[in-house]
Structure 1
């Protein structure tokens, strides 16, 4: 069986293309949006996953500046997920607080109505 020269050339070009990762500009944009959205709902660096998101985003930006595109993309993806986790944690905490307020109101109303269950 003989390997076609065209096939070899295509394989070499494909491998060369994999070696040069493109700049992760879109991923960095998505990550920055996720971080901004988490901040908008109240996530701060006191939320551990938000601190991780900010740290990883800073590392991603530094990697992108050093042309380490693959490392930058991976850090940016992780930072995006950490930011989304922080947002979910903050929203969950706010929901629990609202639930507690509603439960207290229900208890108070039941007492006012004479213990109706």
Structure 2
């Protein structure tokens, strides 16, 4: 019982994570600007869900949960962006290897 006031005051002292929400929203926007869609990316879909949870927690003034969800949303959005860029790089590598193989065949025919 003696710990209850301390626990309540600790919850009340969490500041609103406005900056973290801004960073999360920015990460979501950047991923979408690259062409990542929630339909194609499970990571982006999770980021959007966690961002919605963060906004709901803000409405409820549960700033600790809002911060946790917002941080997770930011990380998931950045993961979605990294996965997209990795897939794009791998596709470019395959295309480059195909072009090299075509050139090798052409050069082989010249000898």
Q: For this structure pair, what is the TM-score category when the shorter chain's length is used for normalisation? A: 0.7 to 0.9
2:11 aligned residue = 19
TM-score normalized by structure 1?
0.82
- Alpha-carbon distance between aligned partners in 2 of 1:40 and 1:93, rounded to the nearest angstrom: 16
1:97 aligned residue = 91
2:68 aligned residue = 74
Residue 49 of structure 1, CA deviation = 0.5
- Alpha-carbon distance between aligned partners in 2 of 1:100 and 1:42, rounded to the nearest angstrom: 20
Structure 1: segments with no counterpart, 5+ residues: 1-12
TM-score normalized by structure 2?
0.86
Q: Say which of 90, 97, 103 aligns to 1:109.
A: 103
Cα distance, 1:115–1:96 mapped onto 2, change above 3 Å? farther
Residue 115 of structure 1, CA deviation = 6.6
2:44 aligned residue = 50
Size of the alignment, in residue pairs? 103
**Over the residues paired in the alignment, what is the CA RMSD in angstroms?**
2.0
The list of structure 1 runs, each at least 4 consecutive aligned residues, that deviate by more than 2 angstroms after superposition, is none
Please say if 1:65 is aligned against 2:59. Answer: yes
Larger radius of gyration: 1
What is the DSSP-based 3-state SS (H/G/I as helix, E as strand, rest coil) of the residue aligned with 1:102?
helix
Cα distance, 1:95–1:19 mapped onto 2, change above 3 Å? same
Residue 52 of structure 1, CA deviation = 0.1
